[in-house]
Chains A and B, each alone.
Chain A
Amino acid sequence: EAGVAQSPRYKIIEKRQSVAFWCNPISGHATLYWYQQILGQGPKLLIQFQNNGVVDDSQLPKDRFSAERLKGVDSTLKIQPAKLEDSAVYLCASSLVPRGGETQYFGPGTRLLVL
C-alpha cells in the first residue's frame, strides 16, 4: 500500500514570497490533515478535511494560509505571503475515518525555510 506522498520535500524562499505544498493521501482515505511542526515542537493541526469539505481550520492563519481539496483526494496548502516564522516542516496525514485517536498516516513532510 502506497503511503502519503508530499512534494516538494524541501523549499527555500524569501519572506513575502508565496509557496505551495502538495499532498496525495492514501487511496480511500476520506480524511486529510495538514500539520505544521516547528523545530523542537510537536505537530500542530492547521486544517482537517473530510472528503472535500473543511472540518476544522481553527488554527489556520487565514490571512496568509489557504488550503483546498477540490476533488476529495489531493490537497494543496499555500502560504502567501510567507513570514520568517513560517519556517517549519509541513506534514500531511490521512485517515480512513475521522475518529479521534484513529490511526493517522503521515507523509514525510515538506521542510520550508523562509529567509
Chain B
Amino acid sequence: KNEVEQSPQNLTAQEGEFITINCSYSVGISALHWLQQHPGGGIVSLFMLSSGKKKHGRLIATINIQEKHSSLHITASHPRDSAVYICAVRGGSQGNLIFGKGTKLSVKP
C-alpha cells in the first residue's frame, strides 16, 4: 500500500468549475505539501501546511490530521490551472518527503 494516495488520478473540468483533489496518507507526518507540475515539467510548491487551512488566490488547501487527509480546492478553474498536482508528506523514519503519484487536471475552455 502506498503511503500517500491521491484521488482522482485524472480529472477533467470545464472552465469555472470548483475542483477538489484529495490526498490520504498512512504515516505520521510533521507537514504536508501541495505542488504543481506544469505541462513543461517544472515543479512549483503551492502550500506547506501542518494544520487547518491555507488560501492563496483561488487555491485553498486543508488538512485534517486526525483523519490523515488533505484536500486541494481550486475555485473558478481556468485552463491555465491544467497541470499535475502532487501531494507530499514529511514523515517516515528519515523525515524526508514522500510523494503521491499526482492528479492530472485538465480544464477545458
Do A and B assemble together?
no
Q: Name A's B-contacting residues (CB within 8 A).
A: none
